[in-house]
Amino acid sequence: MVNENLMIMNNFQGMAKRLTTLLKQQGIANDAVLSTIEQTPRHKFMPESLVHKAYENTALPIGNGQTISQPLMVATMTQLLLQHDCHKVLEIGTGSGYQTAILAQLIDKVYSVERISHLQYQAKRRLKQLDLHNVMTRHGDGWEGWSSKSPFDGIIVTAAAKEVPQRLLEQLADGGVMIIPVGTEQQTLYVIRRFGDDYEQQRIGDVRFVPLVQGALL
């Protein structure tokens, strides 16, 4: 196991290349997204015991009952976001910080909110280690968004909400776009666009995320 981990750490780009080849086959066409995934050390965003699975196309546990999202989902959501002109983005559900790291390499300014303080702290450290300084993270409740930094050109929610949070709709810039999984048992990924006071919703497909929890911060 230790030797295998060392091999992955030393050769992560080779393994990440294999992963991006797979993502391409699965329909990810945005070259910037693919090359960013290829250059990002996903193994640094998880417990050491799981590093040997870091470049598999699967979600993995990161503690506190949470998961690092599946690479295909990260790529899909990022690609959807980049179809629009996004310079300032809010992410809800920092988790490991992996999706945040991908966004930070593609978008000028990224804000990210996480409900579990331990995860937020770890993610912040990882992002700093990777010299990603255009990110601000915060321990808080994603249902509230981050109003003092709003409006956002894009909002990406990486946990499933039982309904679209009103505060997030309000913090979206005119012309802005939100990528959000909605539902409990049955979840659907939506792209929501704001046009003044009107919101237009496009259904992308069925997905599976941990819930966007309502209530006390941990």
Catalytic positions are: 69
By CB under 6 A, is residue 15 in contact with ligand SAH? Answer: no
For the chain, how far is it from start to end, CA to CA, in angstroms? Answer: 32
Among 142, 145, 154, 176, binds ligand SAH (CB under 6 A): 142
What ranges in the chain are assigned the alpha helix state H? 2-10, 12-25, 31-39, 71-82, 98-104, 117-129, 166-170
Residue 114 has which token pair?
């996480």
Among 37, 54, 92, 135, binds ligand SAH (CB under 6 A): 92
By CB under 6 A, is residue 76 in contact with ligand SAH? Answer: no
Nearer to ligand SAH, 106 or 210 (CB): 210
Query: 3-state DSSP call for residue 59?
Result: coil
Minimum CB distance to ligand SAH, residue 116 (Å) = 4
3-state DSSP helix/strand/coil % of the chain, to nearest 5? 40, 30, 30
The backbone torsions φ and ψ at residue 102, rounded to the nearest 5 degrees and listed phi first, read -65, -45
Nearer to ligand SAH, 116 or 191 (CB): 116
Q: Which amino acid is at 92?
A: I
CA distance 121 to 136: 12
Among 30, 99, 137, 150, binds ligand SAH (CB under 6 A): 99
Among 41, 71, 95, 181, binds ligand SAH (CB under 6 A): 95
Minimum CB distance to ligand SAH, residue 62 (Å) = 6
Interaction with ligand SAH in 17-56: which residues (CB under 6 A)? none
